[in-house]
Structure 1
Amino acid sequence: MRLYLASSFIFPRSLQLRLFAVCFVGTHLPLAAFLAWAATTSRLDWPGAIVVTVATLLGTVIAVGGIYALLAPIDVAARALNDAGDGEITPVPQLSGSDLAARLFAGVNRAAGATAERMRKLSREAISDPLTGVLNRRGLLQRLDVLSEHETTGALALVDMDHFKLVNDLLGHETGDRVLQDFAKVLAGTVRHTDLVARWGGEEFLVFFRGATEAQAQSVLMRIAERIRNEPLAHVGERPLTFSAGTTAASRRTLEEALRRADGALYEAKHRGRARILSSAEIQS
């Protein structure tokens, strides 16, 4: 490292030219000393001196070519690191052995693997709710954005746990977190794999039933309600925990309006005594 820093004034932007300078001095210094000695002692053999000089120059060319070739792995590794886009490092070829180049390539590949895993984790965390593991708002909207209009037509439901504040107040926040996790599992495990489940905020979840009618969406929600009546997630006093839901027809293009309708239906379901599923059409009629 000291030699590298000490020689940085020579071709500061090119390590290859710096190595060439070092090789040139190292190979030609003995030759220059010999020629100077021979000239001062009148023992200079011109034909021999020319042969030695040509051979030395040829050896220098070969040495420099070899240095450039041996530095190629460093150049490949440097390009992989410098060309990293969006935080991702392109893996480099695997080299056998345990020399410096092989260790360098192995290090780059380890960094590439660790960076790729970190990016995948960050990507998952950006679109997933950390507590329940289902999508968050951003994740659901991203999923809908990559689908066509035809694929995002269906039914939407806003689902809210009833009296959830009492769960936290009476049973503790740990129990409240466990209830949210269990409820998210029930939702995600009951709907189809093409449907989207997201934690919309607090104890409220959004379910997007792709290609389904409101009647089909309500049928699924009723099955879920029946299940948690038979297998309560928790009890608030003597009563098992329930949920209320508001449903409406929806598409990605009309999502904001559909959310308002579903929220209105959910509010009305709460107002009518909770533990019920209402369609937006029911409250408008």
Structure 2
Amino acid sequence: MHFYLATSFIFPRSLRLRLFAICFVATHLPLLCYIGWGAATARLALAEVVTLTLATVAGTGLALYGIGALLSPIQTLAEALNARPDDSRSLPQVGDVIASLYAGVQRAAATTQAHMNDLAIAAHEDPLTGVANRRGFLAQIEALPTAQRKGCIALIDIDFFKQVNDIKGHDEGDRVLAAFAGRLASQVRRADLVARWGGEEFAIFFRDGAEDEASWALARIAQQMRREPIGRVNGRIISFSAGLSRWTGGPIEEALAAADAALYDAKQSGRDRVCRAPVAISATCP
């Protein structure tokens, strides 16, 4: 590419003429040396110079024809890749076979990168609810600066969700999961992170949130679930249980384990409630 750009001043609109010029100079070096030697020694024969010149011109033309034939498949490929010719405007020579091929390769690389980005998003997003999945949740927390790796972790479980699937079917279960994820995401701050932890279980990271604030936020969501239920099963409004743990920046696994233990206590205490798991203190429920 460096040589291609360096020679772009030679017939800038025609790669074939540029190739001819380079081949002509390269193949005539012996002839130029002969002419220089003949002039220096006064042994220059005009007939020999003419014969050699014609022979080298013919050889250059034959080489150029062969190069053109070899480049024809590349030209065809470049035209196939050039879906949008205006993309080549930033290249040195628009319409040039190498420029066209280069533009096509750039578009192919951009398409590949876009597919890779889509795969990365799919790997970190739950397709049913549109919120982050467990991997995405942990990856986003891991990407935070150390100073922001603190707050509260909540693990949340939809109460009696199995009955929704068993009685109303999996389609209704999927609708309830999506509705619940939307309810959580709409009721927390933009700085907070909501994820589907797995099955009917969700997680929330309240970034820099005090434990009281996080508990009040969960209580507010629970009240809204009662006022505006996302569904009912066996005549009962669909509710949730939650375990809340303070995270001060240590290993997040410890905070998750504490929140999970608090969630277990919430279920054991009758569900539809939030239990806290303060550091070094057993979980407490309201």
* TM-score greater than 0.5 by the shorter chain: yes
Q: Which residue does the alignment assign to 1:174? A: 171
SS in 2 for 1:108: helix
Q: Are 2:151 and 1:154 equivalent residues in the alignment?
A: yes
Q: Answer whether contact 1:128 1:139 (CA < 8 A) is retained.
A: yes
Counterpart mapping for 1:108-127 below 5 A: 108-127=105-124
What percentage of aligned pairs have identical amino acids? 45
Q: Which residue does the alignment assign to 1:231? A: 228
2:184 to 183, 187, 194: 187
Q: Answer whether contact 1:144 1:252 (CA < 8 A) is retained.
A: no
SS in 2 for 1:245: strand
In structure 1, distance between residues paired with 2:165 and 2:119: 30
Q: Which runs of 5+ in 2 are unaligned?
A: 1-18, 28-44, 79-86
Q: Are 2:204 and 1:203 equivalent residues in the alignment?
A: no
Aligned amino acid, residue 120 of structure 1: N
In structure 2, distance between residues paired with 1:189 and 1:64: 70
Q: Answer whether contact 2:243 2:261 (CA < 8 A) is retained.
A: yes
1:233-281 alpha-carbon deviations (Å, 9 max, x no partner): 1101111100000101014523111111111111111111100011113
Q: Answer whether contact 2:261 2:283 (CA < 8 A) is retained.
A: no
Q: Which deviates further from its counterpart, 219-228 or 161-170?
A: 219-228
Taking structure 1 as reference, are residues 127 and 232 closer, same or farther at Cα in structure 2, changes over 3 Å only?
Answer: same
Counterpart mapping for 1:16-35 below 5 A: none
**Matched residue count:** 228
In structure 1, distance between residues paired with 2:59 and 2:217: 80
Aligned-residue RMSD, C-alpha = 3.5
Taking structure 1 as reference, are residues 159 and 59 closer, same or farther at Cα in structure 2, changes over 3 Å only?
Answer: same
CA drift of 1:64 comes to 6.4
Q: Answer whether contact 1:149 1:251 (CA < 8 A) is retained.
A: no
Taking structure 1 as reference, are residues 229 and 110 closer, same or farther at Cα in structure 2, changes over 3 Å only?
Answer: same
Q: Are 2:46 and 1:47 equivalent residues in the alignment?
A: yes
Q: Which runs of 4+ in 1 moved over 4 A?
A: 58-68, 91-95, 99-103
Q: Are 2:125 and 1:165 equivalent residues in the alignment?
A: no
In structure 1, distance between residues paired with 2:102 and 2:228: 55
Q: Which residue does the alignment assign to 1:107? A: 104
Q: Are 2:264 and 1:267 equivalent residues in the alignment?
A: yes
